[in-house]
């Protein structure tokens, strides 16, 4: 089940929106066109303002259309109705396009636009927001798995082109399409992992562990808190994690289920050191100030990670969308505060399932 909201916009000459009489002319043209699609349309309510106009039109109390004129030279039309499963939409793409073209012409509009119908209240959420607050509709066609662990809401959704996607607390994490994410995080072809000792913080989807093991490291230890995430990924993300989540311990690697900070403290106490530490945990928050629980966690992770690194070791982690300059700057500020001092380089990649370009950090002792 879902309601459909269809949005049309037309820019208008401000002469057409300047006074009440002109605005009535515009409304007449709009009503006339809408009636071709909705023949039983009736005017339910109108509100004349000094600087604009608003009306509610309805057909059989099923379809409700609001129509607003802004004196700045803009007309918006919102069509909303309930579309039961399996029913044909009231407006096809052809109908929308035709209405847009005719109204653009009749209203002498310079720029006009209609958006694909927005589906509201459906069982599967197909809209996600990019790190820089853009709306992106995914071609998700099924919810494969859903569960709530003690730590988060876990969903595996299937996208027609991206394959299975891991979504944690409504945030897209990784999809079958995203080998580039893992390869950029680990700097494939740049870093040499052969014979190295590696620690992964987080990484519950298994993709990083799977790719690292191909590079013949001496040993990898992975500290992941959420058993359920690993079970879900082992079942539904095989193409990116292979069978590494099947076993928790082999000669090559060990997966420890628990709080990574606790285990880092334990390793530090034991004097255990690594060539590489990977921060594959929560994203950097998109917030205006480096305060709150989440930033405290990031600082704790960074401080402990560098205590685990050999002098020539590297800390590798993901940042945020490359357009989130403020958030990235805050993260880099945290890096600059570390003692002993560190230096860093960055790399970036367009990650298909994020539908945006992402920044990655390579941090070493200065």
Residue ranges binding a second copy (CB under 8 A): 1, 3, 5, 7, 9-11, 44-45, 47, 49-52, 54, 56, 58, 61, 64, 66, 68, 70, 72-74, 76, 78, 80, 82, 84, 93, 111, 113, 115-116, 118, 120-121, 123, 125-127, 129-130, 132-139, 160-161, 177, 321-323, 350, 352, 355-357
Nearest distance from C-beta of residue 165 to a second copy, angstroms: 14
DSSP character at residue 172: E
In angstroms, give the least distance from the CB of 136 to a second copy. 6
Six token digits for residue 181:
């994410």
Q: Which is nearer to a second copy, 72 or 142 (CB)?
A: 72
Find the shortest distance in angstroms from Cβ 281 to a second copy.
Answer: 22
- φ and ψ at 332, to 5 degrees? -65, -30
Q: Are strands 2-11 and 74-83 parallel, antiparallel or unpaired?
A: antiparallel
Distance, CA of 124 to CA of 142 (rounded, Å): 7
205: annotated active-site residue? no
Specify whether the CB–CB gap between 30 and 103 falls below 8 A: yes
- Minimum Å distance from CB 51 to a second copy? 8
In this structure, the strands spanning 309-321 and 274-280 are parallel
SS3 43: strand
Nearer to a second copy, 50 or 194 (CB): 50
Which of 159/305 has CB closer to a second copy? Answer: 159
Structure tokens given for 345: 């380089």
Min dist CB 30 to a second copy, Å, is 15
Q: In terms of CB distance, is 115 or 307 closer to a second copy? A: 115
Helices (H), ranges, 247-346: 260-270, 293-308, 325-337
Report DSSP state, residue 353: G
Catalytic residue among 178, 205, 280, 283: 280
- Cis omega (within 30 of 0) for bond into 203: no
Residue with Cβ nearer a second copy (111 or 266): 111
Q: Which residues are catalytic?
A: 280
């Amino acid at each position: 089940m879902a309601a459909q909201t269809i949005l049309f916009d037309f820019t208008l000459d401000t002469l057409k929106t300047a006074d009440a009489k002109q605005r009535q002319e515009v409304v007449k043209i709009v009503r006339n066109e809408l009636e071709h699609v909705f023949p039983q349309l009736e005017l339910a309510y109108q509100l004349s303002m000094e600087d604009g106009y608003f009306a509610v039109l309805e057909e059989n109390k099923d379809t409700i259309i609001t129509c607003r004129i802004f004196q700045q030279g803009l007309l918006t039309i919102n069509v909303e109705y309930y579309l039961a499963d399996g029913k044909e939409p009231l407006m096809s793409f052809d109908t929308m396009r035709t209405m847009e073209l005719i109204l653009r012409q009749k209203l002498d509009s310079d720029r006009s636009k209609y958006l694909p119908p927005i589906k509201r209240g459906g069982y599967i959420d197909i809209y996600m927001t990019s790190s820089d607050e853009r709306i992106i509709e995914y071609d998700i066609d099924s919810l494969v798995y859903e569960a709530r662990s003690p730590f988060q809401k876990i969903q595996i959704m299937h996208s027609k082109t991206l394959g299975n996607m891991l979504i944690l607390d409504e945030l897209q994490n990784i999809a079958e399409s995203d080998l580039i994410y893992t390869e950029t995080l680990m700097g494939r072809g740049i870093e040499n992992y052969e014979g190295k000792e590696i620690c992964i913080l987080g990484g519950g989807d298994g993709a990083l562990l799977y790719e690292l093991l191909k590079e013949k490291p001496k040993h990898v230890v992975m500290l992941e808190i959420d058993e359920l995430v690993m079970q879900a990924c082992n079942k539904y993300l095989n193409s990116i994690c292979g069978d590494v989540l099947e076993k928790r311990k082999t000669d090559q690697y060990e997966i420890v289920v628990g709080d990574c900070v606790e285990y880092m403290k334990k390793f530090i106490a034991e004097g255990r050191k690594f060539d590489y530490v990977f921060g594959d945990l929560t994203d950097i928050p998109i917030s205006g100030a480096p305060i709150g629980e989440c930033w405290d966690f990031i600082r704790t992770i960074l401080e402990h990670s560098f205590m685990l690194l050999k002098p020539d070791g590297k800390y590798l982690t993901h940042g945020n969308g490359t357009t989130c300059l403020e958030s990235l700057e805050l993260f880099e500020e945290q890096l600059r505060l570390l003692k002993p001092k560190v230096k860093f380089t960055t790399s970036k990649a367009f990650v298909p399932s994020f539908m945006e370009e992402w920044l990655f950090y390579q941090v070493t002792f200065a």
